[in-house]
Structure 1
Amino acid sequence: MVFAHDTEMALQSAVWLVNTAEEEPDALSTVASLDAFFAAWEYTGRHERTLAELEEVRALRSRLRALFLAPRDEAVETVNQMLHEAGATPQLVRHDPYDWHVHAVAPDAALAERIGVETAMAMIDVIRTDDMSRFGICADDECEALVLDLSRNRSKRFCSTTCGNRNAVAAYRARQAADA
């Protein structure tokens, strides 16, 4: 494991969230899809299940994308701003199924605020370890989705198996054509 479990989960869920905007159709377009996101990434706390909450979370995606792709010093400014705006007060908490980990806003804070703060807190570890290179854009020429590389050898190039397979098939076909 490169980072603590809560850091990895926050980064993975935020990258997944950002990438929903790159999909056609948008994968976060209904309250039901927000419910699925909430459950899949094991968020806790307030979840209103309203269109307003959905729009707040959707609006957060562009800010998170910019954060992940920013140079390190700009990322610091964004992280500090996000934490300040939320009045973040980091505290250790424990709830099923996880042992002690950090939450920095109250569980009754708005979902978009909690996602933003959890992502900002995770980015503190990324910035402190000078690991901004863990973020990038998918190597597929037709894809603009983010890639979060948590591998030890930093070899992840594609956002998904779909993009990786598409490129492997294209490379295979190109080799076959060259041999023919």
Structure 2
Amino acid sequence: MLFTDDTAGALASAVALVNSAEEPDTLTGLDQLDAFFAEHGYTGSRSRDAEELAQVRALRAPLRTLLTSDRDTAVEIVNRMLAEHRALPRLVRHDALDYHLHAVEDDRPFAERIAVETAMAMVDLIRADEMGRLSLCASDSCEGLVLDLSRNRSRRYCSTTCGNRLAVAAYRARKG
């Protein structure tokens, strides 16, 4: 395993959140936010209101900047995010999860918890000098982000949809 489960999970959720802004926007309602919360295994309090949705949606652009930055810029952003939210890492164990890091209290706003968990995950990526695990989708018509945690670093597309679209186009070009 290259990274711990909580690091991989936080990176995957940050990429999913950033990619939710691609057309069509897949984070427009509270039901979609609920699904995001459940899918990515978040815990802690939720207000489940329009303000929370707006705060999480507002994170997409800053997280995109962080996840597409060079290593030195990412360090500056991570340090600023951790200081801004007064992150204080601690080991916790809950539900079916073994010890992992939480850096803000569970009653902090959901958007703040996402930001801090992403920053903490980026600490691991930066320290391991693995920023190349994050890239833009290889499709010319897509601006989605790709998180490649594979051993052979072979992931090129943000989703199977993008990969399939290009495979079909290549097939048609060969047959055409």
TM-score normalised according to structure 1 size: 0.96
Q: How does 1:11-160 map to 2 (within 5 A)?
A: 11-24=11-24, 26-160=25-159
**CA distance in 2: counterparts of 1:140 and 1:33, whole angstroms:** 26
Q: Deviations over 1:142-179 (max 9, x none)?
A: 111000111111110000011101111111111223xx
Deviation at 1:8, TM superposition (A): 0.3
Q: Deviations over 1:18-70 (max 9, x none)?
A: 0000131x111011111111111110001110000000000011000000100
Structure 1: runs of 5+ lacking an equivalent: none
**CA distance in 2: counterparts of 1:173 and 1:38, whole angstroms:** 39
**CA distance in 2: counterparts of 1:79 and 1:21, whole angstroms:** 22
**CA distance in 2: counterparts of 1:166 and 1:82, whole angstroms:** 37
| Aligned residue pair count | 176
Q: CA RMSD in A?
A: 0.7
One-letter code of the match for 2:71? R
One-letter code of the match for 1:61? R
**CA distance in 1: counterparts of 2:59 and 2:98, whole angstroms:** 28
Deviation at 1:2, TM superposition (A): 1.5
Structure 2: runs of 5+ lacking an equivalent: none
Q: Deviations over 1:88-109 (max 9, x none)?
A: 0000000112100000000000
**CA distance in 2: counterparts of 1:20 and 1:40, whole angstroms:** 13
Determine the structure 2 residue equivalent to 1:5: 5
What is the percentage of aligned positions where both structures have the same residue?
Answer: 62
**CA distance in 1: counterparts of 2:126 and 2:37, whole angstroms:** 26
Determine the structure 2 residue equivalent to 1:163: 162
**CA distance in 2: counterparts of 1:22 and 1:80, whole angstroms:** 27
Who wins on radius of gyration, i.e. which is larger? 1
**CA distance in 1: counterparts of 2:162 and 2:59, whole angstroms:** 25
**CA distance in 2: counterparts of 1:49 and 1:64, whole angstroms:** 21
**CA distance in 2: counterparts of 1:166 and 1:55, whole angstroms:** 32
